[in-house]
Structure 1
């Protein structure tokens, strides 16, 4: 796994960190672990556990629904925007395939975006500037003013 982190964010670079992950199940736990480690120095006031849950769901979806003809990676980036935290998960899938589902009680899948929708202040999906799809969430007031 490769990762990068910006330890000294400034106005021109609000990115706090990023990681790239192979599209395999083990990457979900890696994403949780590395996000916890790299967000800790910034001392967010929001629930890191909630963020980790949402990252788990989005990375799982990226791995499950991402597709490309050749080898590909999932990319996770997190940004400070004023007092908010924005986390993006990129994969090479098609943006049109991202939708909020309402599964039946006996459905085994389909609750990831429902969890994100219920936990985040907002979320968005669309074309990624890396190509493919990005799904992001925002936690408002992640840092005191």
Structure 2
């Protein structure tokens, strides 16, 4: 299996995914679909935390993804051992993705700060689709 699908945890198995238009309405659609498609797994981790992180990453993809031609945001979720990994792909540049430390009165810049606080790990790198993939991982996501 490709390194991108491994997530550093051994072999990863795809659980689901979605393709979204790069419009603000896609953020709420991603939240709804993720809840619906993960419900059958009876995850041990906080779905609310996962939905919040997914929402932040899709928002960033919609706001900051850029391409000369028509493009989409791709979201995938994987099982890697007992971990859940969620990937959000967009055509932006990996070097442009960074965690910020906003001032208390800043209106923006907290998305990756939240992902950093709520996930067990997160990463950014080149997407296999071209552009960027930002991922988060939740360990012990499945009930024993």
Deviation digits for residues 28-50 of structure 1 (CA, Å, limit 9, x no counterpart): 00000000000011111111000
1:96 aligned residue: 95
Unaligned runs of 5+ in 1: 1-10
4+ runs deviating over 2 angstroms: none
User: What RMSD, in angstroms, separates the aligned Cα atoms of the two structures?
Assistant: 1.3
**2:106 aligned with 1:107:** yes
Deviation digits for residues 23-70 of structure 1 (CA, Å, limit 9, x no counterpart): 000000000000000001111111100000000000000001100001
Q: Return closer, same or farther for 1:13/1:142 CA change in 2, 3 Å cut-off.
A: closer
TM-score under structure 1 length normalisation: 0.90
Deviation digits for residues 97-131 of structure 1 (CA, Å, limit 9, x no counterpart): 01010011111110000000000000000100110
1:36 aligned residue: 35
Secondary structure of 1:123's counterpart equals strand
Q: Distance in 2 between matches of 1:90 and 1:43?
A: 25
2:60 aligned residue: 61
Q: Distance in 2 between matches of 1:13 and 1:108?
A: 36
Q: Distance in 2 between matches of 1:42 and 1:14?
A: 13
Unaligned runs of 5+ in 2: 1-9
**2:10 aligned with 1:14:** no
Shift of 1:72: 0.5
Q: Distance in 2 between matches of 1:29 and 1:72?
A: 19
Conserved in 1, the CA contact under 8 Å of 2:12 and 2:80? no
